[in-house]
Amino acid sequence: MKNLLPWFALKGVCGIGNYIFKRLFDRFGAPELVFEASQDDLLRIKGITPRIVSAINKRTIPESVKKDFDLVMKKGYQIVTMSDPAYPSLLLQIPDPPPFLYVFGNLGNSIKNIAVVGSRNATSYGISITKRLCEELSALDFTIVSGMAVGIDTAAHTGTLMAKGKTIAVLGSGLEKVYPHKNLKLSHKIAEQGAVISEFPLLEKPEPHNFPIRNRIISGISLGTVIVEATKKSGSLITARLASEQGREVFAVPGNINSFKSIGTHGLIKQGAKLVENTQDIVEELSHYLTTTNVLNNKVKHEDKPEDKPEDKTDKLKPPSLPLEEKLVFDALDSYPVHIDDLVQKTSMKPGKLSGILLKLELEGIVHQAPGKLFSVEINE
């Protein structure tokens, strides 16, 4: 492994963030050359002050940085710097790329990356759509990028893994502090077929302010970002905004107009995001980025077959036989969540009785309940 200490040392200089680091790298080409530069040359860089020059000249490496570097060596993680061929070329194009990435797995350097993100509290409809899109995009040799959060992110990774495709998870914490912890096993599976990456030190905890920071990597490493389910204040909308600011495509999957989980995605569509009904909507929009000539000629599996769309899968999930009242409740449900008040109207049942039947169906794995008394048919991929 090449000498990485200058990268750690320069990144650890007080006052040098990602913007200034990128300017220094563009001007001098390597951290070692920054340390050798004259004061006059350094002061010509936008954002560099005499105080920062003094800190650079001291060339001190904080103890915390040394410990982090030692742990990287001990654990055998990769460090991919901006000068490495494996560093994502798309990420280098944003104004504030991380100087280096901590990598668990094989990052590679494909530009056929698509980010797929959305609600942590996802519906069965959103999860089903996400898995299908990611499976089909994987079949077209796209790498799926997401944040490994619960909900849509997890569905994006698992859908890709099911298709034996490559996926990249971008963490808002260090590689030794995988969040959420329940996805620790998933992180190892991702590393086998792709990579888990982070710009944060290995022992960095998943602090709330880290996630908007990591979102710029999710969008920056990708040609476009697909949003599947987002509330009005969803963090996924931050990723969409960053993608737009970075000059990347933004896609949104429409949902139920009566659901608060559709407010964010429908808002994006109103603002000009590409509406996604199937995989080809994404591929066609990105065709001008791609050099592979046969991508648009590949027929996407299940496309233009209404019977295979997630919203129609409930027919296949109907149990062979149910008591009359349970069947009445089941028939009133869909793959998209329905509020219990609407079910009361649809079934003409008393709320107490209806709740009891819903609980029974939920315990049998037939119905899924989401927060807010929202119920849907459980879809098992």
3-class DSSP state for residue 250?
A: strand
Other CB atoms within 10 Å distance of the CB of residue 275: 13
Residue 308 pLDDT greater than 70, yes or no:
no
* pTM metric for this prediction: 0.78
Contacts of 36 (CB under 8 A, 6+ apart): none
User: If DSSP codes are grouped into helix, strand and coil, which group holds residue 370?
Assistant: strand
Q: Which residues contact 115 (CB under 8 A, 6 or more apart)?
A: 144, 145, 146, 218, 219, 221, 222, 224, 225, 226, 239, 243
Beta strands 113-118 and 224-228 are parallel
Q: DSSP labels for 116-175? A: EEE-SS--HHHHHHHHHHHHHHHHTTPEEEE---TTHHHHHHHHHHHTT--EEEE-SS-T
Nearest to 332 by CA among 319, 348, 320, 316: 348
> From 3.30.750.24, 3.40.50.450, 3.40.50.1820, 3.40.50.300, which CATH number describes the 111-165+206-306 domain?
3.40.50.450
Coil, helix or strand at residue 344: helix
pLDDT of residue 149: 95
Q: Which of 190-199, 207-216, 282-291, 346-355 is predicted with the least confidence, judged by mean pLDDT? A: 282-291
* Confidence (pLDDT) at 233: 82
Q: Are 370 and 119 in contact (CB under 8 A)?
A: no
Q: How far is CA 275 from the centre of its chain?
A: 19
**Predicted confidence (pLDDT) per residue in 155-205, tens digit:** 999 999 999 999 999 999 999 999 999 999 999 999 999 999 999 999 999
* Whole-angstrom Cα Rg for the chain: 24
Own/partner pairs, 55-59, CB within 8 angstroms, 24+ separation: 55/13, 55/14, 55/15, 55/16, 56/10, 56/13, 56/16, 59/9, 59/35
Which residue matches tokens 């298709």? 163
Find, among 223, 122, 104, the residue nearest to 170 by Cα: 104
> Residue 278: which residues within 8 A CB-CB, separation 6 or more?
300, 303, 304
pLDDT at 291 over 60: no
CB-count burial class (<10 Å; 0-12, 13-18, 19+) for 73 = exposed
The dihedral sign for the CA sequence 270, 287, 190, 178? negative
DSSP classification of residue 299:
P
H or E stretch covering 71? helix 63-75
Mean pLDDT of 250-272: 90
- DSSP 8-state code for residue 325: H
Given a contact cutoff of 8 angstroms between Cβ atoms, the answer to whether 112 and 139 are in contact is no
- What is the architecture, at CATH level 2, of domain 313-377? Orthogonal Bundle (1.10)
372 pLDDT above the threshold of 90 = no
Q: What is the CATH number of domain 5-61?
A: 1.10.150
Only one residue has tokens 């959305």, namely: 118
Angle in degrees, CA 218, 194, 140, rounded to 5: 80
Q: What pLDDT score was predicted for residue 150?
A: 94
| 66 burial level (CB within 10 Å; 0-12, 13-18, 19+) | middle
Interval 75-102 mean pLDDT: 94
Specify the pLDDT at position 10: 93
Would residue 173 be called left, alpha or beta, if left means φ above 0 and alpha means ψ between -120 and 50 degrees? beta
On the question of pLDDT at 295 being above 60, the answer is no
Query: In the chain, what are the domain boundaries?
Result: 5-61, 111-165+206-306, 313-377
